[in-house]
Amino acid sequence: MPLPAPDLDDRRFQDLVDEAKRLVMRRCPEWTDHNVSDPGVTLIETFAYLTDQLIYRLNRVPDRLHLAFLDLVGLRMLPPTPARAEVTFWLSSPARTALTVSTGTQVGTLHTPAAEPVIFATTGDLAVVPCSLALVRSPGEEPGPQGGEPDPAGASADRTRDLADGRPFPAFRARPVIGDSLLLGLSAPVPGCAVRLDFSGTVRGVGVNPKHPPLSWEAWAGEKWAECEVGLDSTGGLNTSGRIVLHVPAGHQASVIGADRAGWIRARVVEPEEGQPPYTDSPVVDGLTACTVGGTAQAINAELVLTEQLGEAEGVPGQQFTLRRKPVLGGYGAPVVETSSDDGWQEWSAVEHFAESGPYDRHFLLDSVSGLVLFGPAVREPGGSLRQYGQVPEKGAAVRIRSYATGGGARGNVAAGAVSTLKSSVPFVSRVENRHPAQGGVDGETLQEAKRRGPLLMRTRNRAVTAEDYEVLAREAAPDIARVRCVPAGQNGSATGAVRVLLVPAATMEDSKILFENLVPPRETLRRIAERLDAVRLVGSRVVVEPPLYRGVTVVARLVARPRVSAERIRDDALRELYRFINPLAGGGPDGDGWPFGRPVQAGEIFGRLQQVHGVELVEDVRLFSADPVTGVRGAESARIELEPNSLVFSYEHQIKVESS
């Protein structure tokens, strides 16, 4: 248990009043009226109240000393992290010349009377490259390629002349098989761009479901075919004339197929989904054109500062500068400090501490929360000499910092389609949108959270031994993770020396609903945490970094509404309460900090939650069903859904029926 905080003065209001009355009786015995109605007693109580407030402030001194001690041992509060989103810039007309969307271009959500807009800024230049359809190839007698090389010799036939002369040709072989590909050679690679294909053809792909055609669009990305996201397909899988909008991946490169070099994309026949029919005949291509209609860039919920002048160096150890904007966001990149010299600007590298810095190392330390930039100090050794930790900037040198971001937080985890306003002026761009929800935004560490982390920092000190050590170091490596849990690997911890670090990312919530795919941490986050833990683990231990196992839960309930209460409103409130309660993130669970790992879901708890919904007269029935959030298959009805020891629950399509009383 923690050590008790010292109480420097334990007297309270009533103690002070009683002591004053005793002194009055001793020093002024003629004063005998000590009732609360006496003006003298009123004055005593007034001054006792003021003194009690002073004592309260005095007893707060240990908390301030606590924080000062944590600062001395090197504890620094974790900064907020920005939400990230892919933002698509749509052109007002197909691109005819190259267009560049510069780094720092701002987009945001709509401004409403109830909320300020959430601003995002692009993190790199986006080149929107114009293109046209230059080459077309369709399967020959041999089966098409399954992967690896773009196209083996003889696997496809050139159809470019047929297309130019207006002669129809089949997109695949007469009876399509898995792997058949229609190859389209663009005039130039279009990495990160949105390409529109205008297709005209004859309906012959008999049997396929136009909403779920067994067709995959892919682009050559240098070493393999990468899948293209299909934004629009009004052709029903090349079965009718229409348009197809493809979002080409950022790694798109030119390659050579049949002695022709182009930016190749392809439509490949794949295994149909369960219960869906395959192609029984090949679609016929009558006409096909391509053009660039937009591009997608990475954006973060932050204000980017490209260059900021900090001041002039004094040539003394331990000098510090304060940034104009703070806090500095984590997860964006390492800022670079530069100092002027006769040879130009010299770069200084950020370090976590100066313990390993020598007198000629150009190192600096950045406190992200306070915005302080510190250069290395000089420490006097026992023999009287001075030891310099880190190089000292020359006197009179100009100091500046490049590439840092400020802002961020959980507010940036907006839903898909919320980013719809262009804040910067970009020619030929008509609109913007985020096709997927923004993820990764986490608020900065609070003071109370930092105080709780202090003892763990003292015990860990960059070495992972206990489960708490792994959790603390994982949070430091990726502040954008919402929850971390370290458990032994293997069944019942049988894998000696191995641990599993389970990660739950910060995900977008709309009315407390979470898309299941948003609960899977990004690969970059998994890689960053794995590298950090690998550097601090004990020799012989193995670390596995992965998301936890999720169990879907569906609640089917019947409620009775009170008289003159809207049944629709009760239904919406009840669904919102269920999605909020059965939730692995903040706000979920009985304590509001996320559903506990391994805790079962019981019908009795759901009864209680639904009964508390305003306007509910009676909860008639509650049924629980487990569900696979990937396949959507539900299990049998149960009054109690058990969970594996280190798994979490996930709300999946609750159903509420409200009846009038």
Q: What is the pLDDT of residues 381-397, one digit of tens each?
A: 887 788 899 999 999 99
Let me know the angle formed at the C-alpha of 588 by 586 and 594, rounded to the nearest 5 degrees.
55
Give the other-Cβ count within 10 Å of 222's Cβ. Answer: 11
Q: How far apart are CA 243 and CA 588, in angstroms?
A: 43
Confidence tier at 140 by pLDDT (50, 70, 90): low
* Residue % of the chain over a pLDDT of 70: 93
> Rounded to a whole number, what is the distance in angstroms from the first to the last CA of the chain?
53
Q: How far apart are CA 105 and CA 100, in angstroms?
A: 11
Amino acid letter, 598: G
**pLDDT value for 637:** 86
Give the other-Cβ count within 10 Å of 179's Cβ. Answer: 17
Return the structure tokens found at 595: 């559903």
**pLDDT value for 186:** 94
Q: Phi and psi for 150 in degrees, rounded to 5? A: -55, -45
Of 212, 368, 190, 205, the residue nearest 292 (C-alpha):
190
Q: Which residue has the higher pLDDT, 70 or 138?
A: 138
At residue 227, does pLDDT exceed 50?
Answer: yes
**Contact yes or no for 461/448 (Cβ under 8 A):** no
Each residue's pLDDT tens digit, 19-52: 888 888 888 888 877 787 888 888 889 999 999 8
Burial class (CB in 10 A: 0-12, 13-18, 19+), 300: buried
Q: How far apart are CA 92 and CA 88, in angstroms?
A: 13
At residue 252, does pLDDT exceed 90?
Answer: yes
Each residue's pLDDT tens digit, 198-216: 998 776 556 678 888 899 9
At residue 1, does pLDDT exceed 70?
Answer: no
The domain ranges of the chain are 13-59, 133-293, 305-379+398-407, 462-546, 550-660
Each residue's pLDDT tens digit, 485-502: 988 876 554 556 788 899
Q: How far apart are CA 136 and CA 346, in angstroms?
A: 52
Of 98, 94, 91, the residue nearest 289 (C-alpha):
94
Return the structure tokens found at 395: 């006197």
Return the structure tokens found at 646: 């280190």
In this structure, of 101-105, 327-331, 364-368, 607-611, the range with the lowest mean pLDDT score is 327-331
In this structure, of 151-160, 360-369, 413-422, the range with the lowest mean pLDDT score is 151-160
Q: Residue 493, SS3?
A: helix
What would the mean pLDDT of 415-444 be, rounded to a whole number?
89
What would the mean pLDDT of 101-121 be, rounded to a whole number?
89
In this structure, of 510-524, 548-562, 600-614, the range with the lowest mean pLDDT score is 510-524
Confidence tier at 558 by pLDDT (50, 70, 90): very high
At residue 171, does pLDDT exceed 60?
Answer: yes
**pLDDT value for 459:** 65
Residue 64: CB partners within 8 Å, gap ≥ 6?
Answer: none
Q: Which residue has the higher pLDDT, 186 or 76?
A: 186
Confidence tier at 410 by pLDDT (50, 70, 90): confident
| β-strand pairing of 284-300 with 119-122 | antiparallel
Q: Residue 474, SS3?
A: helix
Q: Which residue has the higher pLDDT, 360 or 462?
A: 360
Topology at the third CATH level for domain 133-293: Jelly Rolls (2.60.120)
**Contact yes or no for 254/265 (Cβ under 8 A):** no
Task: Give me the residue label for tokens 């506990």.
Answer: 596
**pLDDT value for 148:** 52
What would the mean pLDDT of 176-195 be, rounded to a whole number?
92
Of 468, 566, 463, 581, the residue nearest 514 (C-alpha):
581
In this structure, of 175-184, 376-385, 628-637, the range with the lowest mean pLDDT score is 628-637
For residue 246, the Cα-to-chain-centroid distance in whole angstroms is 25
At residue 144, does pLDDT exceed 50?
Answer: no
Burial 404-433, CB ≥16 within 10 A → b, else e: bbbbbbbebbbbeebbeebeeebeebeebb
What would the mean pLDDT of 111-129 be, rounded to a whole number?
89
What would the mean pLDDT of 572-579 be, rounded to a whole number?
90
The H or E element that residue 57 is part of is helix 39-59
pTM of the model: 0.67
**pLDDT value for 433:** 94
What does the longest C-alpha to C-alpha distance in the chain come to? 122
Give the other-Cβ count within 10 Å of 514's Cβ. Answer: 19
